[in-house]
Structure 1
Amino acid sequence: MMDWSHHLIILPILLPLTTAAVLLMFDERRRKLKSGINLVATVTLLALALSLLLKAEKLAPAAEVYLLGNWAAPFGIVLVLDQLAALMMVLGSVLGLAALIYAVARWHKAGPHFHTLFQLLLMGINGAFLTGDLFNLFVFFEVMLAASYGLVLHGSGVMRVKAGLHYIAVNLVASSLFLIGVSLIYSVTGSLNMADLAVLIPDVPAEDRMLLEAGGAVLGIAFLIKAGMWPLNFWLPATYTAAAAPVGAIFAILSKVGIYVLLRLSPLFFGVSAGMSSGFGDDGIYYGGMLTIAFGLIGVVASQALGRLAGYSILVSSGTLLAAIGSGNAAMTGGALFYMVSSTLTIAAFFLLIELIERGQDAAANVLAVTIEAYGDEEEEEEEDEVGIVLPGTLAILGGCFAVIAILLIGLPPFSGFIAKFVLLTGILNPETSNPAVSDGLPWHSWLLIALIVLSGLSALIAMTRSGIRTFWASMEGRVPRVLVIEVVPIAGLLLICLALTIQAGPAMNYMNKTAAGLHDPSQYINSVLQAPRVAKEGDKPVLSLKQEGRAQ
């Protein structure tokens, strides 16, 4: 008989789906009620994700499999809970709660059906993390994107609509590529279950392997668009900058959905046991990641607006993670996971903070400040009676949050950004890989990656220092924005989690390293899925999975 806790796996999908349906029953004028329902559901979702994280850690390196309809893999739909899926669900739930608390202050009133779309977005994200087959990955991917289309347009405005329409067009192309890639893979293997595909791919005949790899390449492009790899990332900075502040914060996890899929499928489909296709696509992801870092750091330095600075910071984060995935270096993967959590929390907090900072600013004054910085101010006062500047309490709080975010983005000690980059650089210098070229000495491209990671921190230092001086120290307006406590709380909460990651870096890295080991050795994941038994009713004889029945016969 099945333990009741086994059914918790499907709740991260059912809970937001049910909540979204309930919210549709209430008129938009009952925003307080809808906000309360949404908050209760999101807090419950976070508690559920944390409980699943503890459960996944106890089960590691094995995974827990939920057979929908009691049909065993590879024929039935399966949900798979392992350490990576649990980690991503917790990260998504934390960002969701922070964005929602911030939105309740004012942003949820800017357009209709905000709360319903918000819950559907969480449903799509959690489903993408839990699903065990490619077709349902596409389904949840589309649910996530459909909700994001409405959220990116939330609040209207010319710039938001323009960027939103570009976002929709690009993602519709990505969805088409997704379907084409899945179709090609299915035509060769006859299966869409991820674990089953990992078993079938090594035995694909040589004459069909080109078609298989073509399907893998097309599928990879679809996820690289979402992850923001150069040159497929032209849409990302503008879209994230134009979106409403809480939408930009929750969107910080959307690019990581593409990263998650690549982390999951790359070692599973094209790992060391994939035969002739072993390592397929790794070089493209690796060098594409380094190009993305280079493009992102140039954008960070060139950005005069804080929103675009945050958008290009996402590209730097994505590029670093893509390079870690493409390297095939198991020693880097644990650090990459730690870096992903730290950078995503930091950038989400940055998007929320930017709206508060710019609330008291005038766009014309910002342009004038840039002009003065470039050409100087001819009208300088000869006498200065005042010495020093008195910072109001609100600006002091916002400035303190800005300083912490800057330290995290730069990667300075003692916060989690420094630890993440230190572990990443350590992994590059001490690789764990099956590539024989690495054993002869560190190759040139590894030194190039180290240089790019260091330069990305330097670019963030230049950009954040310049923006901080212009915003808090040499502001031309002197206006203090009106900020509610409920708007500062989620920013402080996200930064406190980064502080907790710093204090508990040892246990956190142990979890990340275990997760990385499971990714690079997916045998436990494959066995857990393919050998998961169907549930027997009381009084029935034991029921085996379809794979087990085949072996018994």
Structure 2
Amino acid sequence: MTGLADHLIIVPILLPLVCAAVMLLFDERRRDLKGGIGIATTVALLIVSIVLLRQADLTPPGSGVRTYQLGNWPAPFGIVLVLDRLSALMLVLTGVLGIAALLYALARWHRAGPRFHTLFQLQLMGLNGAFLTGDLFNLFVFFEVLLAASYGLVLHGDGTARVRAGLAYIAINLTASFLFLIGVSLAYGVTGTLNMADLAQRIQALAPGDVALVAAAAAILGTAFLMKAGAWPLNFWLPTTYAAASAPAAAIFAVMSKLGVYIILRLWTLVFGADAGPLAEFGGDGLLVIGMLTIVFGTVGVLASQSLPRLAGCSVLVSSGTLIAAIGTGAGTVIGPALYYLVSSTLGLAALFLLVELIERMRDPGADVLAVTMEAYSETNEDDPGEEVGVAIPATIAILGGSFIACALLLAGLPPLSGFTGKFGLMAAMLKTGGATIQASSWMLVGLLTLSGLATLIAMTRTGISSFWARMDDSVPRVRIIEMAPVVCLLLLCLGLTVGGGPAMRYMETTARALQAPQDYVNGVLSAPRAGSTDRQAHP
């Protein structure tokens, strides 16, 4: 017999799907009703995700994973959903960002175009399904669902810049999907399976003539996932697209860019681990180089950015590059701090994307040109007695400024917020060798992390001065509580990560150790009994 608790794994997929279908029954004029349904659904998703994370955390190490067999068909023959500590973590992160972005959108963005709430729920469904699925084909299916929804979200609203960026975004993601399909087909043709646990077993016994074909399939799949993560050199689209998208869409895209990183980490530790024979740690050096080049590209973009939206988009590249390079180091001790950094940077980036629009409301469209002209010709009023010194800062400006400073500290990796904890943990893990010689690549990565943090601090300081200190007028932007509350809550969560750094890092390190023991995952998936069965042995 099975209870309701056994069906919780599929709820993060079914709930937004049903919600999206129900919303299609209502006319677009009933947006308030749709907004209420969307908020209730997203809150329920977060609650279920937290319960699943609690269940995954209570699972004793080495006891495998929790599975859900659709149609009660065992793996590798049927579709199976897999819950472990990593997938549960990503579900909770998606739920948090979903609530923040949706609350922000209820202020005005959900009225900027049709079917916003339906697209948003389908986006959540695709993300949750991609994190839970246990086979590559259904990963492709959920990949396409979330991409189809993201096409609508990135074009939501109006404006030539958004349409132009959206067309480039669609083109690059269609290319990634094409590569994904080719890689999946090639992998299936060689191994005869797409279940990731079964694939991990079969790769260990590959015929010598099939090794090159599987390596080619892995390279093609890796290219598709790296494109989605915004890795160099196929990341030219990301800063422009994220800068042009609406604030709530860009906020949820912050976790969507981490989907590529999640898949790379999952496949690299599960399928191409130490027991993969000739393909053990396949592509690790390439990931390290690509990650470091992505950090360089993102750092240059951060320094060169002349607008806050583009600066936020380039910061996504720095975050993705850091995670890809951390995976490429091949050190198991780095994965735990990398996961902590993933959560911290994603929350910080989402808060910044929401904050960008509120700050941009203070800027006059011609302010940038006027500021450059005044600086070039030294047009200052020397007779000004400075009577404005000491004037009280309006509360709105104070809250926006404080939130901006918190985002700057998070992305630059400075104390006291969680960005420092994540970056320091990464550096400490790379430089901790147990007496062995530290590799040159580790020193290079530590240097790049330091320089990228310095560049982010310089760029954010420059932007903060132009936005808050050197404003051309004294106007105070109109900001609603429902817009500011998600930003503050995301930043408070980052503060909570700092205060609760011990338990949070414990969870991340336990997750990292589980990823380094892929046999537990394989046994948990392939040996899972059918529902209602008393036979706890593996099925043939």
Tell me the TM-score normalised to structure 1 length. 0.95
- 1:360, distance to aligned residue in structure 2 (A): 2.6
Q: Equivalents in 2 of 1:265, 1:348: separation in Å?
A: 26
SS of 1:232 mapped into structure 2: coil
Shift of 1:377: 2.2
**Deviations, residues 195-249 of structure 1 (Å, cap 9, x unaligned):** 0000000111111111110000000000000001010100000000000011111
Map of 2:4 onto structure 1: 4
Q: 2:305 aligns with which of 299, 303, 310?
A: 303
Where do 1:281-296 residues align within 5 Å? 281-296=283-298
Distance in 2 of aligned mates of 1:139 and 1:7: 21
Q: Which residue of 2 aligns with 1:22?
A: 22
Match of 2:470 in 1: 474
Superposed displacement of residue 536, structure 1: 2.9
Shift of 1:2: 2.5
CA contact (8 A) 2:123 2:149 kept: yes
Q: In the TM superposition, what is the alpha-carbon distance from 1:361 to its structure 2 partner?
A: 1.5
Q: Given the superposition, is the C-alpha separation of residues 431 and 134 from structure 1 closer, same or farther in structure 2, using an over 3 Å criterion?
A: farther
Give the C-alpha shift of residue 372 in structure 1.
Answer: 4.2
User: How far has the Cα of 1:404 moved from its partner?
Assistant: 0.9
Matched, 1:485 2:475: no
Unmatched 5+ stretches in structure 2: none
CA distance in 1 between counterparts of 2:372 and 2:321 reads 29
Moved more, 238-247 or 357-366: 357-366
Cα separation, partners in 2 of 1:549 and 1:241, compared to 1, 3 Å: closer
Amino acid at match of 2:530: R
State the alpha-carbon separation in 2 of the partners of residues 462 and 46 from structure 1.
36
Residue matched to 2:455: 459
Alignment of 1:317-466 (within 5 A): 317-373=319-375, 375=376, 377-386=378-387, 387-431=389-433, 440-466=436-462
* Residue equivalent to 2:520: 524
Letter in 1 for 2:513: A
**Aligned residue in 2 for 1:56:** 56
CA displacement 1:80-103 (0-9 Å, x = unmatched):
000000000000010000000000
The SS at the match of 2:460 is helix
CA distance in structure 2 between the aligned counterparts of 1:371 and 1:226, rounded to whole angstroms: 40
Distance 1:63 1:204 in 2: 26
1:69-148 counterparts in 2 under 5 A? 69-148=71-150
Displacement of 1:376: 5.3
Q: What is the 5 A alignment of 1:148-159?
A: 148-159=150-161
Q: For residue 2 of structure 2, give the secondary structure of its aligned residue in structure 1.
A: coil
Q: Partner of 2:106: helix, strand, or coil?
A: helix
Q: Which amino acid aligns with 1:8?
A: L
**1:120, distance to aligned residue in structure 2 (A):** 0.2
* Aligned mate of 1:495, from 477, 491, 498: 491
SS across alignment from 2:347: helix
Query: Residue 65 of structure 1: SS of its match in structure 2?
Result: strand
What displacement does 1:302 show? 1.0
Letter in 1 for 2:195: N
- Which is further off, 379-388 or 441-450? 379-388
2: distance between equivalents of 1:409 and 1:467?
14
> Residue 49 of structure 1 contacts residue 86 of structure 1 at CA under 8 Å; is this kept in 2?
yes
Contact 1:360 1:482 in 2 (8 A): no
Q: Which residue of 1 aligns with 2:192?
A: 190
Aligned to 1:436: none
Q: In the alignment, is the contact (CA less than 8 A) between 2:79 and 2:134 conserved in 1?
A: yes
Counterpart of 2:81 in 1: which secondary structure?
Answer: strand
2:13 alignment counterpart:
13
Deviation at 1:505, TM superposition (A): 0.2
Query: In the superposition, relative to structure 1, how do residues 86 and 371 fare at CA in structure 2: closer, same or farther (>3 Å)?
Result: farther
The structure 2 residue matched to 1:509, chosen from 505, 508, 517, is: 505
SS at match of 2:366: helix
Distance apart, 1:109 and its partner CA: 0.2
User: 2:526 touches 2:539 (CA, 8 Å); kept in 1?
Assistant: no
Q: Which moved more, 1:323-332 or 1:506-515?
A: 323-332
1:534 to 526, 530, 534: 530
Structure 1 residue 269 corresponds to structure 2 residue 271: yes
1:3 deviation in Å? Answer: 3.4
Separation in structure 2 between the aligned mates of residue 297 and residue 188 of structure 1, nearest angstrom: 40
- Residue 173 of structure 1 is matched in structure 2 by 175
Measured after TM superposition, the shift of residue 477 of structure 1 is 2.5
For 1:80, what is the secondary structure of its paired residue? strand
Report the more deviating stretch, 471-480 or 262-271. 471-480
| Residues 462/2 of structure 1: CA separation in 2 closer, same or farther (3 Å cut) | same
The alignment partner of 1:181 has SS state of helix
Please give the alpha-carbon distance, in whole angstroms, between the structure 2 residues aligned to 1:121 and 1:325.
26
Q: Distance in 2 between matches of 1:381 and 1:224?
A: 54
Cα distance in 2, alignment partners of residues 234 and 371 from structure 1: 30
Aligned-pair CA distance for 1:391: 1.8
Identical amino acids, percent of aligned pairs: 60
Q: Secondary structure at the match of 1:442?
A: coil
Unmatched runs of 5 consecutive residues or more in structure 1: 433-438
Asked if residue 46 in structure 1 is aligned to residue 46 in structure 2, the reply is: yes
**Given residue 512 of structure 2, which amino acid in structure 1 is its aligned partner?**
A
Cα pair 2:527 2:539 within 8 Å, conserved: no
Deviations 1:154-211 (A, max 9, x none): 0021000000010000000000000000011111100000000000001111111111
**Amino acid paired to 1:499:** L
Q: After superposition, what is the alpha-carbon deviation per residue over 1:45-97, rounded to whole angstroms, capped at 9, x for unaligned? A: 01010000000101143210111101101111000000000000000010000
- SS, match of residue 270 in structure 1: coil
Distance in 2 (CA, whole Å) between partners of 1:544 and 1:523 is 17
Distance in 2 between residues matched to 1:132 and 1:376, nearest whole Å: 63
**Alpha-carbon distance, 1:543 to partner:** 4.9
Code of the residue aligned with 1:535 in structure 2: it is A
TM-score normalized with structure 2 length? 0.97
SS of aligned partner of 1:360: coil
The alignment partner of 2:271 has SS state of helix
Q: Which residue of 1 aligns with 2:215?
A: 213
Residues 520-544 of structure 1: CA distance to partner in whole angstroms, max 9, x if unpaired? 111111110010001236xxxx456
* Alpha-carbon contact 2:309-2:356 (below 8 Å) kept: yes
Q: Report the Cα offset of residue 273 of structure 1.
A: 0.3
Task: Tell me if structure 1 keeps the 8 A contact 2:104–2:482.
Answer: yes
Letter matched to residue 144 of structure 1: L
Deviates more, 1:461-470 or 1:54-63: 54-63
CA distance in 2, matches of 1:203, 1:20: 44
Output the CA distance in 2 between the equivalents of 1:372 and 1:327: 48
Which amino acid letter does the alignment assign opposite residue 391 of structure 1?
I
Deviation, 1:411, is: 1.2
Q: Is 1:535–1:543's contact at 8 Å kept on the other side of the alignment?
A: no
Asked whether the equivalents of residues 331 and 431 of structure 1 are also in contact (C-alpha less than 8 Å), the reply is no
Residue pair 2:529, 2:539 contacting (<8 A) in 1 also: no
In 2, distance between residues paired with 1:90 and 1:277?
Answer: 33
Aligned equivalents of 2:103, 2:539: Cα separation in 1: 50
Give SS of 1:233's match.
coil
Cα shift readout 1:429-452 (whole Å, capped 9, x = no counterpart) = 0148xxxxxx74111111110000
* One-letter identity of the residue aligned with 2:37: I
Question: C-alpha separation between the residues in 2 aligned to 1:480 and 1:259?
Answer: 40
